[in-house]
Chains A and B, each alone.
Chain A
Amino acid sequence: MSGSGPGHTSRWLPWHAIAVFGFLYLPIVTLIVYSFNGSGVGGFPPHNLTLDWYRMLFADDAIWTSVLNSFLVALAAVAISLTFGIPAALALDRANFPGKVLFRRLVLLPLILPGIITGLSLLMLFREAAVKLSLITIVLGHGTALISVATTEVFAGLQKLDRAQEEASLDLGANYWQTFWRVTIPNLRLSLIGAALLIFTLSMDEIAVSFFLIGRDNTLPLEIWGRLRRGITPEINAISSIIFIFSLVAIVIWYRLRASAEAKPEIVAELVETVS
């Protein structure tokens, strides 16, 4: 709205924006285009368009096993993150206890810390506890790292929650547990769905922490990673393109959910703000 007065322009700004969007999207677009390229991953111009790589992909059992693994891990990660993230958000919103500041920082730390540190420290924990590395350890790793996402989403949702509703519920005779399930959770519905979607997507894509906690079974990113060490083929382009489409759909749904809950979505910005 500013700049609606006469004579106010910055002409290079739109071009810069276009350039940045190009920079952000061209690699991905290239990737998708070359997933149809018969002669391989590189080489310009692409020719010999084919669906062979996708056919190869769909016949590739190892990949689909890893997809299933990732899927299960992601579901479990959502469960853990929400189970501990919801009370964490409530605690930050409503309780005062010694060490609250430390707690808040600890919970949010995995968001800003390089994944290697979180992964390594968990690795050491499992080693000292003589726990064998497996999908379970990956689940624990993802859950821990992603509690921060659940906490920030739910916390933001709590800010918009009308405290008076809970007070009314208590006033009318419901106890805390009943109020939690009948009033608090339903009001947080959108935040919870958004958080679940986000955590699920992040878990499916997660590689940094998983790298250190992997046992015998691969998650999808780690399966791809393994292939990359051996040599790159457009089959990887194909699976990458599919991953991109799914992530895209998930994020757009998530954004729309949040946008419908508030007038001005500054969603991930809030995430970022609480950390900084």
Chain B
Amino acid sequence: MATTTEPAGLNTAQSSSPPLLSIRNVAKSFGRTAVLRDISLQVAEGEFLTILGESGSGKTTLLRIIAGFENADSGEIIMGADRLDRLPPYRRRVNTVFQHYALFPHLTVAENVGYGLKVAKQPKDEIAERVEQALAMVKMTAYASSKPAKISGGQQQRIALARALINRPRLLLLDEPLSALDANLRRQMQVELKSLQREVGISFVFVTHDQEEAMVMSDRIALLRMGELEQVASPREIYSRPATAYTAQFIGHTNLLRGEVKDGVARCQSLSWRTGLRDGPGLFSLRPENIRLASAMPTGATARFRGRIRQQAFHGATDLLQVECADGLAISVRTASHENWQGDLDLEFSPSDAVPVRESQEKS
């Protein structure tokens, strides 16, 4: 039972000024399929918010509703004093960077970038000047008279960005703009986009399925699952204090430990550790990097266990070990050491790193 309104306790990095955009109880179905169920979310001024989710989670639909390409079945979207959802897309102070850029093939790069201004009937020289600035901002001045077919994917993406930002929107929507780029270019663009956002100061709402990308770029992440918000929090928060099992597994790797709490001790098969939870069944998320080789002297502060190495995989900066405990429990352990581990190992972790999470139910 995930909350769909923003959980107050988990909502850090919230500014005290009024939000730029308020999404209230938005729902949308296509035919009989409910794509969005009762979404409420706020976007603050100047923040980089990422809507993260798998395909089918409804993230693109939500973005399109904000942009105006779809109508919500119910709910409201409010920007400042306006009911945004009552306006057609060409009257919203919102611009979009499309997933496949959607550059106009029959116009040059400069004409593409200046399109919004031309349509608003701005004077020619002002358009020319602002187009020049916009192109300089994305470092594409040399390509002003090229046609989109002649420039690369990464360059097209910059143009799409310039074309949107030149109109000085109050909010910029980005629909998986980096998904068509190869890995290295993607990483580079992530950094550039982030610094661009800081520079320009406009709120960005960024949609992606890539959790790493979300964590690198965002001020806050809204994790969407099957049309509902699982959790909305800063990357650090969402990583170290995931609210649900789904969140814990979707973002980063984790060991999901199902156990029983009794008298202040949580037990999951051969593992046990101290916890402040009430008695009863419990579900915990334990990240592999929080498990380390046990120090020689056992202290009462850590939970220790023993396991046999089953697999060791090289992951560049770290190694990921698959360890099997006596009762068959499989645990992933991440270590910086590349030593070739064999046989049985003594491992330990801090009880506070076993984060209690809610169940994520299967949804219809």
Contacts and interface: CB of A to CB of B under 8 A. Distances in A.
Interface in B127-178: none
**Chain A interface residue number, banded:** under 10
Contact of A4 (B70, B85, B86, B87): B70
A6 B69 contact: no
A138 to B, nearest CB: 47
Interface string A1-19: 0101111100000000000
A8 B71 CA distance: 12
Interface of A: 2, 4-8
Contacts of B328: none
B32 to A, nearest CB: 18
Given A5-B68, A5-B69, A6-B68, 13 more contacts: A2-B69, A4-B69, A4-B71, A5-B71, A5-B88, A5-B89, A6-B71, A6-B85, A6-B86, A6-B87, A6-B88, A7-B88, A8-B88
Interface in B280-315: none
Nearest 9 CB-CB pairs, A to B? A7-B88, A5-B68, A6-B88, A5-B89, A5-B88, A5-B69, A4-B70, A6-B71, A8-B88
Contacts of B69: 2, 4-5
Interface string B71-100: 100000000000001111100000000000
Contacts of A2: 69
Contacts, number: 19
Q: Which of A2, A5, A6, A8 has the most CB of B within 10 A?
A: A5
B275 to A, nearest CB: 51
Nearest to A6: B88
A5 B70 contact: yes
A2 B102 CA distance: 14
A6 B69 CA distance: 8
Interface residues of B, number: 9
Nearest to B69: A5
Contacts of A4: 69-71
Contacts of A5: 68-71, 88-89
A6 B82 CA distance: 15
B61 to A, nearest CB: 12
A7 B89 CA distance: 9
B222 to A, nearest CB: 23
6 contacts: A2-B69, A4-B69, A5-B68, A5-B69, A5-B71, A6-B86
A72 to B, nearest CB: 50
A59 B85 CA distance: 69
Contacts of A7: 87-88
A225 to B, nearest CB: 47
A6 B88 CA distance: 5
A6 B92 CA distance: 11
Nearest to A8: B88
Contacts of B89: 5
Nearest to B67: A5
A270 B39 CA distance: 44
B71 to A, nearest CB: 6
A5 B65 CA distance: 9
Contacts of A8: 88
A3 to B, nearest CB: 10
Contacts of B86: 6
A123 to B, nearest CB: 46
B170 to A, nearest CB: 18
Contacts of B85: 6
B200 to A, nearest CB: 26
Contacts of B87: 6-7
A8 B70 CA distance: 12
Nearest to B91: A7
A6 B64 CA distance: 12
B313 to A, nearest CB: 34
A4 B28 CA distance: 13
A5 B84 CA distance: 12
Contacts of B68: 5-6
A8 B88 CA distance: 8
Interface string B51-73: 00000000000000000111100
B195 to A, nearest CB: 32
B163 to A, nearest CB: 19
A5 B71 CA distance: 6
Nearest to B86: A6
